[in-house]
Structure formats: C-alpha cells, structure tokens
Structure 1
Amino acid sequence: MRKFLQKTLPGSVMVLTALSFENPEPAPMPDPEIFIAAHPKDYFMAPVAASPLKINGTFGELRSDHFHSGIDIDGNTGQPVFAAADGFIDRVRVQASGYGNVLYVKHPNGYTTVYAHLDRFSSDIQKFVKETQYKRERFEVDLHPADGQFRVKKGQEIGKLGNSGGSTGPHLHFEIRQSGTDRALNPLLFGLPVQDKVPPEIRDMKVYFLNEKREVLTSKPFPIQRQKDGTVGVANEVTYLGAWRVGFGVKAFDKQSGHRNDNGIFAIALYADGELAYQWRMDQLDFDESRYLNAHVDYAARKRYGAWFHRCFLLPGDRLSNYTRTNALGSIALSKDKPVKILLKVMDAAGNTSSIQFQVKRDENMEPFVGQPYQYELPWDAESRIDLEDFTMSLPKGALYENLQFQYKTTQDDSDGMYSSMHHLHDNRTPVQKYFEVSIRPRNLPPELRTKAVIAYCGEGRPDNCGGAWRDDYLVTKVRQFGDYCVMVDKDQPTITPVVFDDDMRKKSTMAFRIRDNFAVSGSADHLTYRGTVDGQWVLFEYDRKRDRLTHTFDGRIGAGEHWLRLSVKDDRGNEAVFERKFLR
C-alpha cells in the first residue's frame, strides 16, 4: 500500500507525493520482423485503384501532439474509394475538422476499416446522412446505422477521395482497427500493394545527459557522418561524453520506392554491448496514449527548430505501450575505463533496416550542468497546486513527463482589452500530457463585461480564447500548455463575408461565406456556431473550418422565385453576427 506525503514548498505550492511509483515490469517483446509476418496478407484489398500505392504518411508517423493512426494514400479529389473487404457500414461521421467525412466499415474477421477526409459518400449513404442532417438541423453528425443497413462487398465503391476536415491536401486516410478494442493497427503490415525496397534514412542524432531517474539534465548534438557507401557513422573510434549516464535521440525518415516523401519509421532498437537497451515499434496504437508522442519526441527541439527527434530512452512519465520494457529503458551508464559499444537500428514496415554503430566512454572532465532560476519544484508523479493572491494552478498527477523546475512570474500590461497581469507559466517548450486548471482574478473589470471575460493564451498571432467560468471572483478554465495567460474581454461579434453570393443566384450552384472571429480557440472554449435559414426554414451549410468557409449546395429544396436568407454566427461568449439578404432562384 502506498503512503502519501503532503508538503509545502516555498511560494505556497502544495505537492501530494507518492513515496513509491512502480515502473512496469520488464517484458519480452518479439522482434519487429515477427510483427510484420504475423498479420494476414490477403484479406484486405487496396481502397483506391493504384498499384503500387503512393504513401504520403505512414502509421505511427510523428504529428503535432499525436501519432498518425493510419496511412495517407495519395490521390485526386473525386477518385473512387472502395471497401477493402466485405462488411457493413458501422459508423458515419461528418465533422468540420478532424476526419471530415469519414466511414467505418465493420468486417466479419474482427477488424474495422476507416476511410477519412472523403469528398462525399456513395449516393445511398449520402442520402441517409443528408436526411439526418435536415432532421436534426445540424451539419456535424455522428451516426451508427443498424447492422446490415448498408452492406458492402469487397471492391464496392463507398465514397470519393477528398480533402474534408483537417486535411491539408487531397488524400485518403485509411485505418485498420481491432473491432473489439478500437485499437489502431498498422495497415502496412496487411499486404497492401506498397512497393518499398528503400531503407530508412538516419539524418541526425542528439545525446542527452541523464540523471539516475532518466530525467534530462541537458542535451547537445551528436555529430554523425555519411560514408561513401551510403551508411552513417561517427568521426572518432570512441566518443567521450562528460556524463555518468546518457540517452540518445535520432532523426530518421522512411522512403518509398518511386515516391519522394519523408515518411515515418516503423521501429527503433538500441543495443549497448550487445544487449537490448531500448526498443520502440509501431504495429498498433491505443488512441488514449497517442498524446504521449510529446514524451517520445524531443518536444523542445520540435518547438524551437521544427526538428523531429525520437528519444531512444523513456522519460519517467512516458506511459506509451509501444516500448519493450527493458531494464535500462534506454539509459546508458558510462565508464571511464571501458567504452560502451552502441548499435542503433531503424526499420520500416517492409523490413528494410538502417543502422549506425559507435562507441562512447565517460570523459574525465564532466559536463557542467547549470540550472536556471526557478520558483517551484513540480513532480511528475503527484498532484501539484500553486496558490497565490490573484492566481492558482492545479496540475493532476501524470500531467508532466519528468520533474519540473517551474518558472513563474507576472508582468503588468495595460494594453486595451486586458484586465489582469500577464501570468507567465514556465514556457511553451515544455509539454503537458493532461488538462490542468488555471484560475485568474481580474482587476478593474467592469461588471457589465463579466459575461464577456475569457482567459486568453497569448502566443504568436491572435490570442487564443481558452474559455472561462466564474468561481467567486476568479475566472477558471482548463488548458493543456504552458505559456502566457491573462484575462481579456471578447465583445466583438464574428465577421461574415460573402464569397459566392449576390442578389441573383439563378445561375449559381452554391452560395458560400467566410466566417471568422477575433480570437482563436483552445482549452475549454467553444468554436463558432452558426445557423442558416431560407424563408425561415433551416438549410444545410457545410463548414470547412480550416478555410473558415460555409457552403450551401442548391439541391432543389429551394424553389424558383425570391427568397430571404438569414445566416447567424455566434462565438464562445455569445457575440452574434447576422447576415440577411434577399436573393433570386
């Protein structure tokens, strides 16, 4: 049974600390080659008519705040998309962002396939979706047809490839999931026609100086060289490092035969003196763990330079299931008497492998570690709370990946629309796994503006509305990143700009509007909501959030003659814009 100790650090921060925190027991894991061979290779066909498929994004690829849960298949808008095997439509969803128009097909062998960013569905499914949208008077819907209502055969067209939702270009995002657990599986392990005989490319490395808890003290580049035969190595026979223990990071990408694209790799293994010290592989993914990407990568390097480095060691709070639980967990102890032989292997899902070998030894001159001044010590494995006169912050257990020497300060800013000090919460280069609560007491806020007050994140560009609800004299919200926060007021209505609209719409097939707000949205704030009517009756406007665009396609519901359009748009604080105009059909 665990015992808990409550202690107070200088500055009134309360920490609830567990005196023991168990690491998962080391467990053997089959080699990646075994995972590659273990999946059925002849059950699923390619969901688009191309052989070989051109892959623009691989499973497990590093993305912002998440691992990629499928493969991105290159294609053109309107290209047919086919059911990969017999089954029935289990779910249909329409979103303004995210997956956009997406279909889930359930198969009798225990798998479900997912087809996202579709331009549109097949005619029978499209009719079902549109009727439901009009019945519910909303664009975004999440539908679960009765089993067998829409049966599909292998190779049957179920939609058209597109660019809906959060997609940045036409492609099909394709997934294979376990139906019972909803766990995503790597589609490249199922025998799809992908030609890949090119090994991954190791482009860069870093070395991290670690303490006994595998927390990072500092890091620096670990120079590598490309040899004449195309392999990579290091300049010296032995590299000396001024640390007791180190971990490594690698920047690596996969290439596909005949297709120039930097894709994600499948697996990494690191051996120290012939013994497996670290292994990561992406044969499957638990969606609840996907944000642990921010522990897996060098988050600070990503934020500063846009560089994606895989850590080849585990931070203490990294609970991702895709690692082999070795005894070392990637931490390499150094000796000044004998060098450690390191072998780092990188593999793609086709089994192609690249590697680098080198030796490291502890330098007699140890690297100096000079920490920055800080105000609070926040543990990763316990709750923390900072209580100040005008500010509180509550971090749940597991919100951090390693103990944090937390920097906090306030500055005064008399800019128009600000009603509190600027609270500087450490920096935005330190990742946070879970939402945490922030409370700020405003100053000089007129009572009539209380309903318009928000906690704002002030980074680059326009501020983020993070929402906020009143708790006594404090405005309270939940956020998931460190940075600069203050209380601001949002009393400006959104803007509605006609893109395709005039008084005479008789020769138009669509009408479209651009809608925008003065704040971006994050935290617990709501996105823009809207409602469009013609002659008082609700009409469907499709919302493409990445383009800030509403589009209505004329489909015969609006007859010939003169009509009255009313389009209203509201933001998170209830500010409303209205566009009203007559038009002819």
Structure 2
Amino acid sequence: MKYYFILLIPIQLALGQSRYPQDYFINPLDITTVLSGTFGELRNNHFHSGLDIKTQQVEGMKVYAVADGYVSRIKIAHYGYGKALYITHPNGYVSVYAHLQKLEPKLETYLKNIQYERGTYEIELFPQADELIVSQGDIIAFSGNTGSSGGPHLHFEIRDNLERPINPLLFGIDVKDTKPPTIQKFYAYPKDANSFINGKNERTELRLIPRGNANFEVEPLTAYGYIGFGVTTYDQQDLAANKNGVSNITTTVNGIKNFEIDFKRFSFDETSHLNRLVDYEFYKTNRSFVKKLFVEPNNPLSMYKDVIDNGYLKVEDSINNIYKIVVSDFHGNTSTVSVKVKGDKPEEKLQKIIARPYHHFIYANDATTLEDQHVSVYIPDNTFYDDVNLDFRVSGDTLHLHQDVIPLQKNIGINYDISQYQDGDKNKLFVGKITGYRKYINYIPTIKKGDLLTAYTKTLGQFILKADEKAPSVTPVNFQNGKWLSNYRYLKVKISDDLSGIGSYRATVNDKFILMEYDYKTGVLTHDFNDNVVTDTRNELKIIVTDNVGNNTTFEATFFRK
C-alpha cells in the first residue's frame, strides 16, 4: 500500500504571492474545459465557490483526480452538492468534485458498504489518510446531475487548508476567453438624505453610451453630496453562451483609485453577505444583480481592496469630477464606463424620498420581539444590516412580515400559539412561506413544543399556519405487482407530497434494508439491483414514505427475480 505524508504548507503565505502552483493540478475531465459557471459569480444568497464544467449535456464522463492525495471526505445528499468527493493533497489544498453520478467502483463499494451498514442513503464520511489513496490521473468518479444541479455538469473546486475556496483558474486550469465583459446597466445611488442625483434623492438609472471596444460613457449628470454607483455586468467565454460572473471591478475618481472588488477567493463564512454587496431590493423585484461599487456599514466581505471613502464619490457644488469603472474577466479582458459628474447643489424645495411610515422601528443592534394575537416574531440583535421600519401584521393565521426586499444576516424565529386548535389537529400543523404569483406554500422546518410551533427563516415576506392531512403518494414507475424483474437493472418508484413535502422514506425487501437513491427533481426513488442485496426469487417490497408533518404511506408489492 502506498502512503503519503501530508504536509500542510502555510497557504496563507502563498495567497499573498502573485502565483499559485501552475503545474500541480491537471484538469478533472479529459475534454475541452467549457464553463457554465465561473468562480465567484453571484448566485441566490451565495457566491459560486468553483467552476461548473460542461459535460456535453450528458452524464457518466470520467472524473480524474487532479493530483496525488487521499479521499478525505465523501458526502451524499439529496440536495446541494448531491454526490460529492473531496481529496486532500500533499501541498495542503483540497479538490472538490460535486453533482457526481457515482463514484469509481472501489470507492462506490466502500461508500455503499457503509450506507448499508448504517441503513441510510444520505451520509457524510471522513476516511483516514491511509484508507483511500489516489494518484494524479486516477478515475475517481463519473459526472452527473445529482443534488441541486440544474443540468449535467461537474462542479469543481480547489480550497485551501482553511476550507476557503479559491478560483481554480489561478492554478493553471484554463478556458478560452477573448471576449470583454458585457455591461448591461449602470446606476447611481445617493448615500443619505442629503445626497442628490439629477435633483433626486433616489436610485437613478444612467443611460450608457457605447464608444466602441467595450468602452462606454454615461450621459452627463449633476449630483451633490456623497453618491455611489452600481453596475449589472456579466462575462462570456469563447466556447459558451452562458452569462457568467466577472473577476474584478476597479473604480477611480479623477484618476485616483478609490475602490476594488476582486472575486478570486472568499470564505464560506462570508458568502451570504453577497446580499450586502448587491442591491437586494432590486434583485428581489427584478431578478437582476446590481453590484454596488461602494461599501455600506456592517459589510464584512474580504473581497474589497484599496477602498477610499467607502467607494463613494464626494460631489461639491460647482465642482466637476470624472468617475471611471473598469470591469475585468479572469483573462484580463476589460470593459469600461466613464462618468462626468457636475456638482450642483439642489434647491431646498426639492422633494426627498419619504419612507412609508410603518409602526415597527427595529434598531439593528438590539434584539426585538414583535407580537400580535397568537403570533410572535423574535429578531436577534444584528439580524439587519441597518435600522429598519417594518410592516408587521397578523390576519387570521397569515403573518405579514414586510416584503422580502431587506436582507437578513441571521434567522428570525416565527412562533404560533396553537392552543385554540383541537388536539387531534395540532400534529398536522406547520409554518409555511407564501411565495410567487400563485401563492405557493413552501414548508419551513417547524418545531412543536407543547402548544407552540416555531419556525426559523432568513427572509421576510408572508407566512401562514397550515394543516397537512394528506399522506404522500407512492407509484411504481417501471414494474407492477407480481412482475418478474430478472432482466431489470433498476427498481423505480415515484413519490410525492402536495403540501408539506417529503420528510423521509425507507425501503426494505423481505424485511432487509435496501438503498434507494432519491432524485427530488423528478421525485423518483431508484434501487440498483447490482448492489446484490436482493438475492431471493420471491421478494416482498415495502416502502414507507413520511411527509414533514408525519403523515405516512406504506407501499407494498411483490416481484420476482432469478
């Protein structure tokens, strides 16, 4: 058996240098690297932590170990990364491979033995350093579409020894990109009530004027006070039409640098603060990310560099300024926007924006409890980035907790007193969030303690107390009761629940646990007969499916195999 002595190099020192090891890692796939997602691009509530490598719209491509090392973690989940494999390398970095279809046969056997031993599909393992040794170029898995993947691809990461993801392109893994980033929209923001843009105290879209070669100017504007700017932008590589994230944005005021944000590395602890970087309200109402090129209070992101005056431009009366932004992709292709700003103090009679006078003012630094009728909401201190004025109302069993246009740093607790309900109904109740035009009800994990139901959420909006009295449905997909399945590789069953959602499932054959993989996107449970746990001719299948409030359905069928 071959052993590696893992020497964890102080990567913090390496990060301060201009180069990362360029010949250490190979590509994880043996096809041309084409990306559907780039490192650091903006996603819902998080930065993308790796590269999404296209697999030509198919599953089952060979995935290779990018360097020598050992498998240090295996995580199998219905959601998120789906089937994921982690390899620790002698230089201290960790490579991550996610949304896999399956592991290579020896690793798959290792995994399934433990899954059967523990009687569970979802599992997280941390093998010892001498258990699962791999060499650079070994096949370790096959690409897939598991977890929260939107289509077949390989999600690939490189992390340091503190679990901080780093752009894999920094290590020599390359893609063809000769196109400059695209700049779609440009906005100006007043910092406070004493700041104005074209005589108004509100976010203002500025018309972009193309000047050729990915350079733009903005129609001249007048301003006064401290103003910031925001941009919607994306990048495209040569071989893909996907609209991906950019790598760097730098701004100058009168030729002097006053702001930079670099998307080459971040920490998972800070990723949700993306909601402070972007115009959160604009995103929630327009589904478009505006990156704010200024730093507001309580923004802990480490991506900022060389920030002067928090990135704002100070505009004084009758003084002219030139503001410029340079947007870059990883390969150094750039697009620019130049803005001429004329200082013009507005007349006192100009109307300022007045916020709607809600009755619940929340100080960001203080914990607060809001109560009305049988509902209370607990807001921990520092949940909000700023002091806010909230709309809080209760109508029957519906809670109106403002609109989802203000980002939260922490979960808030929603509590329903259900003492007025009949005892037989209490166990069927849950807290849901009302979403979308059709007002769908999305289950929120709900804890029952006596006559109190508690759910935690990290978004504002409308919530409701709802009863789920209907059990899940279970339907065979590729067999019927009493059927011979000797020539079948897979056994498939579809499960669904129309309200609170699937909570758990368990399948047995002849009272012996069998592994069934759940694809929540299709609602299909799949058992692979190659697991060789179904060995009898006559087999009694039993599947128990339970929803999130405890309603359950038992499906039973007989099948035969030789």
Question: What residue identity is the alignment partner of 2:518?
Answer: Y
1:508 to 488, 499, 509: 488
How big is each residue's C-alpha offset from its partner over 1:148-202, in whole Å with a ceiling of 9 and x where there is no partner? 21111111111111111111111110000012x1111111111113222222111
**The one of 399, 402, 415 aligned to 2:386:** 402
Q: How does 1:297-336 map to 2 (within 5 A)?
A: 297-324=278-305, 326-336=307-317
Counterpart in 1 of 2:266? 285
For the structure 1 residues 560 and 447, does the alpha-carbon distance in structure 2 shift closer, same or farther, using more than 3 Å as the test? closer
Are 2:426 and 1:450 aligned? yes
1:469 aligned onto 2:450: no
Other-structure match for 1:13: none
What residue is the counterpart of 1:534 in the other structure? 509
Q: Which among 98, 104, 107 is matched to residue 89 of structure 2? A: 107
Given that residues 544 and 550 in structure 1 are in contact (C-alpha distance below 8 angstroms), is that contact kept between their aligned partners in structure 2? yes
CA shift at 1:426, angstroms? 0.5
Alignment of 1:428 with 2:404, yes or no, is: yes
Question: Which 10-residue stretch deviates more, 457-466 or 298-307?
Answer: 457-466
**Cα distance between partner residues in 1 of 2:444 and 2:61:** 39
Could you list the per-position Cα deviations for residues 78-108 of structure 1 after superposition, in whole angstroms to 9, with x for gaps in the alignment?
1111111111111111111111111111111
Shift of 1:111: 0.4
TM-fit CA distance, 1:284? 1.1
Residue 578 of structure 1, CA deviation: 1.1
Work out whether residues 317 and 398 of structure 1, in 8 Å CA contact, stay in contact via their aligned partners in 2.
no
- 1:145 corresponding residue in structure 2: 127
Query: Residue in 2 aligned with 1:178?
Result: 160
Aligned with residue 70 of structure 1, among 50, 59, 63: 50
| Cα shift at 1:367 | 5.6
- Give the distance between the partners of 1:471 and 1:336, measured in 2 at CA: 61
Distance, in Å, in 2 between the alignment partners of 1:57 and 1:581 is 43
Give the CA deviation at 1:431: 1.9
Q: Which residue of 2 aligns with 1:517?
A: 497
Q: Which residue of 2 aligns with 1:14?
A: none
- AA of the residue aligned to 1:583: F
Amino acid at match of 1:101: K
Distance 2:449 2:343 in 1: 55
Contact 1:408 1:423 survives alignment (8 Å): yes
- The change in CA–CA distance for 1:173 and 1:467 in structure 2 (over 3 A counts) is closer
**Counterpart among 534, 552, 560 of residue 576 in structure 1:** 552
Aligned residue for 1:547, secondary structure, equals: coil
Equivalent residue, structure 1, for 2:140: 158
Deviations 1:209-247 (A, max 9, x none): 221899x97323122122344422223xx3113x52221
Aligned length: 533
Q: Which residue of 1 aligns with 2:522?
A: 547
- 2:369 and 2:308 map into 1 onto residues whose CA distance is 33
3-state secondary structure, aligned to 2:491: strand
**Tell me, which stretches of 5 or more residues in structure 1 are unaligned?**
1-33, 413-419, 522-526
Letter of the 1:519 counterpart: L
Residue 49 of structure 1 is matched in structure 2 by: 30
Structure 1 distance, partners of 2:525, 2:344, is 62
One-letter amino acid matched to 1:373: P
1:19 corresponds to:
none
Task: Kindly provide the CA deviation profile for residues 250-304 of structure 1, in whole angstroms up to 9, marking residues without a partner as x.
Answer: 1111121233221101111122223332221112111111111111112222222
Cα distance between partner residues in 1 of 2:357 and 2:260: 35
Partner of 1:562: 538
- In 2: Cα distance, 1:104 partner to 1:93 partner: 8
Q: Is the 8 A contact 2:194 2:225 kept in 1?
A: no
Distance 1:133 1:471 in 2: 32
Matched, 1:85 2:67: yes
One-letter amino acid of the structure 2 residue matched with residue 176 of structure 1: I
- Asked if the contact 2:500–2:548 (Cα under 8 Å) also holds between the matched residues in 1, the reply is no
- Give TM-score, length-normalised by structure 2: 0.90
Q: Counterparts of 1:167-246 in structure 2 under 5 Å?
A: 167-179=149-161, 181-211=162-192, 218-235=202-219, 238-241=220-223, 243-246=224-227
SS where residue 261 of structure 1 aligns?
coil
* Cα deviation, residue 485, structure 1: 1.6
Secondary structure of the structure 1 residue equivalent to 2:112: helix
Q: In the superposition, relative to structure 1, how do residues 130 and 271 fare at CA in structure 2: closer, same or farther (>3 Å)?
A: same
Once residues 504 and 416 of structure 2 are traced to their aligned partners in structure 1, the CA distance between those partners, rounded to angstroms, is: 27
Q: Given the two structures, how large is their TM-score scaled by the length of structure 1?
A: 0.87
In 2: Cα distance, 1:134 partner to 1:262 partner:
42
Separation (CA, whole Å) in 2 of partners of 1:355 and 1:520: 49
Report % sequence identity: 29
The 8 Å contact of residues 210 and 218 in structure 1, kept in 2 or not, is answered as no
The residue that corresponds to 2:237 in the other structure is 256
Q: CA deviation at 1:444?
A: 4.2
